[in-house]
Amino acid sequence: MVCDELASNKINIIALTLMDSVEHGVFRLVAENVEKARRALTALNLPMTETQVLAVEMPNRPGAVADFCGRLNGQHIRIRYAYVTSGAAGGRTVGIFKVDNLKKAVKVAGTKPAGRKPRKVVRVSRAARSK
pLDDT at residue 2 is higher than 50 = yes
Residues 6 or more apart whose CB falls under 8 angstroms from that of 7 comprise none
> Range of 8's domain?
2-50
**Residue 98 burial (CB count, 10 A):** 19
* Whether residues 23 and 60 fall in one domain: no
pLDDT at residue 121 is higher than 50 = no
Four-CA torsion 43, 45, 46, 47, nearest 10 degrees: 110
* Whether residues 43 and 89 fall in one domain: no
Q: Is residue 130 part of a domain?
A: no
Number of domains the chain contains = 2
**Secondary structure of residue 77 in the 3-state scheme:** coil
* Whether residues 40 and 59 fall in one domain: no
Of the three residues 31, 50, 69, the one that is the final residue of a domain is 50
* Whether residues 9 and 36 fall in one domain: yes
pLDDT at residue 6, rounded to an integer? 92
Mean pLDDT of 83-110: 87
* Whether residues 102 and 118 fall in one domain: yes
Q: Is residue 89 part of a domain?
A: yes
Residues 6 or more apart whose CB falls under 8 angstroms from that of 110 comprise 118, 119, 121
pLDDT at residue 114, rounded to an integer? 39
pLDDT at residue 116 is higher than 50 = no
Mean pLDDT over the full length of the chain:
82
* Whether residues 45 and 56 fall in one domain: no
* Whether residues 116 and 56 fall in one domain: yes
**pTM of this structure:** 0.78
* Whether residues 61 and 97 fall in one domain: yes
